[in-house]
Structure 1
């Protein structure tokens, strides 16, 4: 099987929304050879370039037409390529956890890499803000996500209803991780996190 066919076969096996770069095929051949294979597929309309060096398979919606690449898939591909660490910033985490209906004006992630804006073409750039590695790497990703959301809401606005919502929405394994990672959260969060982990209907302080 030729390199081009191996690359195409792997892409077909992936979910269509996955974003990838030539570095996802290093086991198949050199970056130059893989890059040429991807360029030929792009020219043939089989894949599209979503930003320099990154591709996906075009997806269409019967009403919306061609869909944009998911920014999370783009970030996942960048993380695989660079090895940098990311975590969703507070207001974005609160919105994704449905702790608030307020939609942040910007998409912000914290990273152990240098701060910069990530240009995604015809959409608002993603802001990457540097944060020391020790503050990102200690707790599990799911726990850090909850910590960020609660921190954005603020201790005076964490209601029993919001705690019950998280207890219901989080996967059991993620609730268990909250207890394991309790030491990495501010002390004022501890009662709320214990209630979420226990699946209790309200927070007990």
Structure 2
């Protein structure tokens, strides 16, 4: 019979490296004391990592650098959203980073949220959630919101064909019809950019890319 530690580890590994989680992810299967004890044991054994109080991840490891990488900021944000049942949307630098439009590592990542204003220190950076009107985070698809926030952050004057091509390369083409429908109510110039980004995928063609 599998121990609770092994059962939890199996489920954690199933999400892949980089996954960030709280103990409440497992309350449907085990009681809280069992979970806390098992996660504490696994962290001490180095199989998972404690990021901050009550938060853990299954860290990514770089063979090239020969070291464990810092926690994934987007995975951290999604873990908070699951815990508090928030709807969130990457804003500003977070959106640019996720689309590969910025190689800088900012000291603060901001997410728009339908929850309260909150700020958390995670390692060397700060993760901030800003309470925002639902219309700004009300997209059905995550890709829609990331693209809209990235375009707005750059601004109309800074948009180039090269930037649109970079964004196009980051999305799965079969998502394009859904994104186009999802973003119809956004600012005119933003929607024109999205139409250009999605021009190759309006018929739902597929291709190999990062999102595929």
Give the TM interval when normalised to the shorter protein.
0.7 to 0.9
The alignment status of 1:109 with 2:111, answered yes or no, reads yes
Looking at structure 1, the residues matched to 70 and 104 of structure 2 have their Cα atoms a distance apart, in angstroms, of: 23
Looking at structure 1, the residues matched to 44 and 104 of structure 2 have their Cα atoms a distance apart, in angstroms, of: 41
TM-score computed with the length of structure 1 as normaliser: 0.82
Which segments of 5 or more consecutive residues in structure 1 lack a partner in the other structure? 201-205
The root-mean-square deviation of aligned C-alpha atoms, in Å, is 2.5
Structure 1, 98-107 or 34-43: larger mean CA deviation:
98-107
Looking at structure 2, the residues matched to 169 and 193 of structure 1 have their Cα atoms a distance apart, in angstroms, of: 13
The residue aligned with 2:86 is: 84
Change (3 A) 1:164 1:10: closer
1:125-140 to structure 2, matched below 5 A, reads 125-140=126-141
Report the secondary structure of 1:114's partner residue: coil
Greater C-alpha Rg: 1
Aligned residue pairs: how many?
199
Change (3 A) 1:94 1:76: closer
The residue aligned with 2:171 is: 170
Which segments of 5 or more consecutive residues in structure 2 lack a partner in the other structure? 202-212
Change (3 A) 1:187 1:27: same
Change (3 A) 1:196 1:78: same
Looking at structure 2, the residues matched to 87 and 133 of structure 1 have their Cα atoms a distance apart, in angstroms, of: 10
Looking at structure 2, the residues matched to 125 and 44 of structure 1 have their Cα atoms a distance apart, in angstroms, of: 27
Change (3 A) 1:25 1:163: same
Measured after TM superposition, the shift of residue 158 of structure 1 is: 2.0
The structure where helix makes up a greater share of residues is 1
The residue aligned with 1:46 is: 47
Change (3 A) 1:36 1:149: same
Looking at structure 2, the residues matched to 100 and 66 of structure 1 have their Cα atoms a distance apart, in angstroms, of: 22
The residue aligned with 1:29 is: 30
Write out per-residue CA displacement over residues 39-98 of structure 1, whole angstroms, 9 at most, x where no aligned residue. 222233332211111122455445342322222222222222221121111243234434
1:1-205 to structure 2, matched below 5 A, reads 1=1, 2-62=3-63, 63-99=65-101, 104-120=106-122, 122-199=123-200
Say if 2:16 and 2:58, in contact at 8 Å, map to a contact too. no
Say if 1:143 and 1:174, in contact at 8 Å, map to a contact too. no
